[in-house]
Amino acid sequence: MSLSMMRRDHDTPNGLTEFLVVSAVESLRERGVEDLSLNFAVAGRYLRGPARGVGRVLRPAVRAVDRWFQIESLHRFNAKFLPAWQPRYLLFEGVLAFPRATLAVLRAEGQIPWPGVRDRTAAGERLGVPAADGVAST
C-alpha cells in the first residue's frame, strides 16, 4: 500500500496530514496490510547522516533542487513516523535514457504535471465528476 499523494492546503490546521496518515495506518492494519509506503522521498538518503563517497557530490545537488521539489521537507515529514528506510533504484538503459526515466519518475511522484492535465479537479469536472464541497477548480 502506498500513501504517495499527500497534499496540504495551507488553510488546514497543523497536524491534519499526520492525523490522516495515522488513521490510514490504523485502518490498513485492521485490514491486514503489513507494509506501507508513505511516499517516495527521492534522494532522501543523501540528507541523512554524514556525506561519504557519491553523497558528497549529491547532497549539495539535492539541496539545490529542493526549492522546487521539497525533498528535505518531505524527508522530515516521513521521519516523524520512524520508518524503516528502504532504498529504491532507478534503472535505465544507457545515459541517453536518463532524462526520460527521470521525467517519468517526477510525473509518477506528482512533482510535475502530466501533459494536458492542468488541474485534477478541473479535469474531473470536464469528465462530469462534480468537485467536492469547498474545492475550487481553476
Using CA atoms, how far residue 68 sits from 103, 112, 116, 134, in Å, is: 14, 10, 21, 27
In a domain, 69, yes or no: no
In a domain, 93, yes or no: yes
In a domain, 38, yes or no: no
In a domain, 111, yes or no: yes
Domain that holds residue 99: 89-138
The number of domains in the chain is 1
In this predicted structure, what is the pLDDT of residue 26? 93
- Show Cβ contacts of residue 22 under 8 Å, excluding neighbours closer than 6 positions: none
In a domain, 98, yes or no: yes
In a domain, 73, yes or no: no
In this predicted structure, what is the pLDDT of residue 121? 52
Phi, psi for 18 (deg, rounded to 5): -60, -45
- pLDDT per residue, tens digit, the chain (138 aa), is 677 666 777 888 888 888 988 998 899 999 999 888 877 666 777 777 666 787 778 888 888 888 887 788 888 888 888 888 887 788 889 999 989 988 888 787 667 777 776 655 554 555 555 544 444 444
In a domain, 105, yes or no: yes
In a domain, 66, yes or no: no
